[in-house]
């Protein structure tokens, strides 16, 4: 199986020993602490699950600046995005050497992790501008990732962490949430070596399903890991529980047995386009995937990034050789009326727009909201039924990515 990024073995930060974990939980109750942001809580969950290997905790200002400029930590480890604990008030932890990080997303704000404080630093205006321009590619406060980042505050708390639980993800998604450790174990149990990973924050329509199959055939893969984001999205996106149900139905009906795993991870979407695509590839390597699908406008939002920027960034000098995982570069995928199957548009230069079954995301949402199933060439009927039930029950008409 492919090695984790940056080390020979995966080193998750979750305290696996039950007795040690309970002792830390008891000790944490009397520690100074802060209720962290949702983004920091998600980072903590990812560190605990081994997804952010080989990090041992949250980055400091020197790491932030080098990651932004060179995609390397101060210790020269490739990392495309700063992994931060940013807050707006450090008063409760001033002078503390060890603190409790409390969960903002669970009632009662239970302790999520214990952190050894290496430094507390304040990000300057120039620091913030550097992060926004390099990671998000924009300082526009209308960008949902920029907006979320700026809302967290300016104080950077860095140091190693010991993770004590996985927030609400294990409870809310017991069939789906899996750590990188668990996915590696399952891949090994199934005897898979060549594994394709597919990232999704949306329901999977027919084109997504067929794209996964095209990629598996192209790289002669043993299996597919559908890895859905379970954390917070922008307003209007379809809830994780609905996406989960739709994807499970699709796999049950349209995939051969033992060819696809349905899993999810606890992270809040950044919408950072190319830089986030690199992060997605890094933690898919950590979970054991040998190949990762990158499509058009991967991890993008609005018009902030070029259609294939998330692919071409892998060709940059800073990235070359940094990761072992291989990228499957996908084009826009749609059903061909000429060929009666789903194809990548780049593979059929003789086609015109009229030769494809194409629907805008807005039109698909309108149809679902009106109880009208999109064509079977676009959305599997079993999937459409689940989505129509959601729109009927919620009355949702909000704009969401498709």
DSSP code for 238? P
Q: Is 202 noted as a catalytic residue in this protein?
A: yes
Identify the active-site residue in 201, 243, 296, 380: 201
Identify the active-site residue in 43, 60, 105, 202: 202
Q: Is 201 noted as a catalytic residue in this protein?
A: yes
Among candidates 119, 138, 115, 118, which has minimal Cα distance to 128? 138
Classified as helix, coil or strand, 52 is coil
Residue 25 has phi, psi (to 5 degrees) of -60, -45
43/265 Cα distance (integer angstroms): 11
* Residue 351 CA: distances (Å) to CA of 336, 340, 343, 346, 354: 8, 13, 11, 10, 8
* Residue 354 CA: distances (Å) to CA of 131, 132, 370, 393: 43, 40, 25, 34
Q: Which two tokens stand for residue 342?
A: 């789903």
368/384 Cα distance (integer angstroms): 7
Measured in whole angstroms, the distance separating CA 191 from the mean position of its chain's CA atoms is 25
Of how many residues is the chain composed?
402
What is the distance between the terminal CA atoms of the chain, rounded to a whole angstrom?
Answer: 33
342/337 Cα distance (integer angstroms): 9
Q: Helix 381-394 to helix 240-254 angle, to the nearest 10 degrees?
A: 160
Instruction: Specify the residue for token string 């060179």.
Output: 70
Instruction: Specify the residue for token string 């190319």.
Output: 274
336/12 Cα distance (integer angstroms): 44
- So which residues are the catalytic ones? 201-202
């Amino acid at each position: 199986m492919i090695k984790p990024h940056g080390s020979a073995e995966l080193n998750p930060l979750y305290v696996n020993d039950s007795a040690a974990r309970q002792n830390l939980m008891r000790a944490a109750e009397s520690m100074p602490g802060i209720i962290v942001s949702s983004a920091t809580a998600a980072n903590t969950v990812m560190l605990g699950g081994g997804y952010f290997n080989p990090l041992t905790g949250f980055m400091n200002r020197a790491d932030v600046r080098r990651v932004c400029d060179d995609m390397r930590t101060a210790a020269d480890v490739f990392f495309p995005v700063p992994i931060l604990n940013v807050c707006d008030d450090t008063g409760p932890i001033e002078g503390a050497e060890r603190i409790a990080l409390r969960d903002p997303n669970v009632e009662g704000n239970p302790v999520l992790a214990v952190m050894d404080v290496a430094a507390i630093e304040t990000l300057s205006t120039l620091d913030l501008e550097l992060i926004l321009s390099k990671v998000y590619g924009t300082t526009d406060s209308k960008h949902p990732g920029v907006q979320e980042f700026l809302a967290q505050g300016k104080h950077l708390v860095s140091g190693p962490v010991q993770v004590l639980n996985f927030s609400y993800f294990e409870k809310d998604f017991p069939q789906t949430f899996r750590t990188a450790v668990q996915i590696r174990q399952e891949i090994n149990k199934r005897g898979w070596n060549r594994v394709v990973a597919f990232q999704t924050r949306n329901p999977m329509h027919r084109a997504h399903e067929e794209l996964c199959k095209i990629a598996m055939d192209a790289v002669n893969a043993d299996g597919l890991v559908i890895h859905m984001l379970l954390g917070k999205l922008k307003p209007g996106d379809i809830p994780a529980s609905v996406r989960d149900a739709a994807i499970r139905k699709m796999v049950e009906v349209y995939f051969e047995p033992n060819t696809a795993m349905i899993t999810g991870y606890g992270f809040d979407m950044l919408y950072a386009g190319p830089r986030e695509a690199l992060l997605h590839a890094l933690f898919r390597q950590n979970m054991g995937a040998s190949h990762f699908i990158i499509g058009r406008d991967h991890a993008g939002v609005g018009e902030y990034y070029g259609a294939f920027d998330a692919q071409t960034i892998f060709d940059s000098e800073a990235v070359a050789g940094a990761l072992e995982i291989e990228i499957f570069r996908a084009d826009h995928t749609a059903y061909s009326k000429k060929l009666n199957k789903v194809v990548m548009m780049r593979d059929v230069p003789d086609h015109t727009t009229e030769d494809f079954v194409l629907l805008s995301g807005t039109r698909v949402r309108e149809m679902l909201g009106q109880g009208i199933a999109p064509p079977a060439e676009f959305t599997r009927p079993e999937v459409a039924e689940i989505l129509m039930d959601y729109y009927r029950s919620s009355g949702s008409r909000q704009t969401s990515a498709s």
